[in-house]
Structure 1
Amino acid sequence: MNIFSYHLVKIPYSLAIKGLFSNPIDKKTEGLIHSEYMTAMTLGSPIMSSSRFLIKQVAIFAQWENENALESYLKEEKFGKILTKGWHVRLEFMREWGKISGYKIPEQKTKLENKASPVVAVTIARMKPFAIPRFLRWGRPVEKLVRDHTGTLLSLASIKFPNIVSTFSIWKTEKEMTNMVHGHSDMPKPKRHSDAMKERERKNFHFEFTTLRFKPIAEFGFWNGQESYIPNLKNK
């Protein structure tokens, strides 16, 4: 069964710079379907700030033929061993909106155990370069909404030059996430996300865009000194 994994790790500056120009995960890695190597960003941070681009902090979003392929990569490959020093979560696919090239969205979909189960959301966009200023104007308020939302357990953004932008968020429950999406949360200015979606429908920011929803199945390691971001999840 296909699985996805999302990794966060801090790496040396020299390796981070190299990663800006080439993905350190070989496309021919056995069992790998697709991966994106991205530089982490703080959601909602000012565009021109040190917290906007966290050059030594990287995010990897990958799809694997099965969990054994991921295990082998982490144990046997040089960059895989680096990833084991960070944090990652393993994911089973639930739903997709939109389309993105590279990943192969499974026909088989999983379901949450119950309404109180946590859920993970990943968005990936391939931006239209001239739409980036307008995207930032509409997107930063949404970033702040997700970052500060009482329903999130962990959230961040990431970027891959020249035009890939992504977000990652873990939510306490699916209902809290969908309420945010539709502007029904108790947060200040709750319609920031729904307003941005209306603007996207009016005039698209992207060549490609998708939102993916996942069931987390296992969590490993530490990120920023913390482990076990996801409650009631059996760690391995």
Structure 2
Amino acid sequence: MSIFSYHLVKIPFLLAVKGLFSDPINKKTKGLIYSECMTAMTLGSPIISSSRFLIRQVAIFAQWENEEALDNYLKNEKFGEILNKGWCVRLAFMRQWGRISGFKTPEFKAELESPLSPVVAVTIARMKPFAVPRFLRWGRPVEKLVRDHPGTILSLASIRLPNTVSTFSIWKTEKEMTDMVHGHSAVPKPKRHSNAMKERERKDFHFEFTTLRFKPISEFGTWKGQKNFIPINGKDNS
């Protein structure tokens, strides 16, 4: 069964620069369906700031034929060994809105144990170059909404030049996430996300865009000194 994985790792500066121009995961890797290697960013940070483009902090979002393929990559490939030094969550596909090239929509859809179970959301967009200023104007308020929302456990943005942008967020419950999406959260300016979606429907920022929702199935490693972000089946993942 196809699975997804999301990795966060801090890597050497030269390797990070090299990754701006070539994907560190070989596209012909056995069992790999597709991957995106991106540079991490802080949600809601100023456009011109050191926190906007965290060159050494790398986010990898990948789809694999099965968990065995991912295990083999992490154990036997040089960059896989580097990923093992960071943090990773393995994900079972639930739902998709929109489409993006490269990834394949699985036929099997996982279900949460309850509406109070944690959920992971990933968005990926291929930007229209001339739409970037308008996207930033509407997008940064949404970034701040997600970043500061009491329902998020971990959230960040990432970018791959020249035109791929992505967000990743772990939510305490699916309800808190959907309330945010529809503007029903008990937070200041709760409709920032829904208003941005209306603007996108009026005039799209992207030529490809998808929102993916996942059930987290296992978690490994640490990120910025923290671990066990996700309570999976009530168990400690250490």
Shorter-chain TM range is over 0.9
The secondary structure found in structure 2 opposite 1:130 is helix
- Superposition pairs for residues 1-236 of structure 1, below 5 Å? 1-231=1-231, 232-233=234-235, 235=237
The secondary structure found in structure 1 opposite 2:186 is coil
Q: Which runs of 5+ in 1 are unaligned?
A: none
Q: CA deviation at 1:215?
A: 0.1
In structure 1, give the amino acid aligned to 2:119: V
The secondary structure found in structure 2 opposite 1:184 is coil
Deviations 1:67-103 (A, max 9, x none): 0000000000000000000000000000000000000
Q: CA deviation at 1:233?
A: 4.9
The secondary structure found in structure 1 opposite 2:79 is helix
TM-score w.r.t. the length of structure 1 is 0.99
Q: CA deviation at 1:234?
A: 5.4
C-alpha contact (below 8 Å) 2:228/2:236 kept by paired residues: no
Runs (4+) of structure 1 exceeding 4 A deviation are none
- Cα distance in 1 between the residues matched to 2:235 and 2:73: 23
**Worse-matched range after superposition: 224-233 or 187-196:** 224-233
The secondary structure found in structure 1 opposite 2:111 is coil
- Cα distance in 1 between the residues matched to 2:210 and 2:129: 18
Deviations 1:33-88 (A, max 9, x none): 00000000000000000000000000000000000000000000000000000000
C-alpha contact (below 8 Å) 2:73/2:80 kept by paired residues: yes
Q: Percent identity?
A: 79
Q: Which runs of 5+ in 2 are unaligned?
A: none
- Cα distance in 2 between the residues matched to 1:67 and 1:120: 18
- Cα distance in 1 between the residues matched to 2:18 and 2:121: 28
How many residue pairs match? The answer is: 236
- Cα distance in 1 between the residues matched to 2:67 and 2:193: 34
In structure 1, give the amino acid aligned to 2:145: L
Deviations 1:162-203 (A, max 9, x none): 000000000000000000000000110000000000000000
Q: CA deviation at 1:235?
A: 2.6
The secondary structure found in structure 2 opposite 1:72 is helix
- Cα distance in 2 between the residues matched to 1:141 and 1:115: 27
Question: What is the root-mean-square deviation of aligned Cα atoms in Å?
Answer: 0.8
Change in Cα spacing, 1:233 to 1:217, as seen in structure 2 (3 Å) is farther
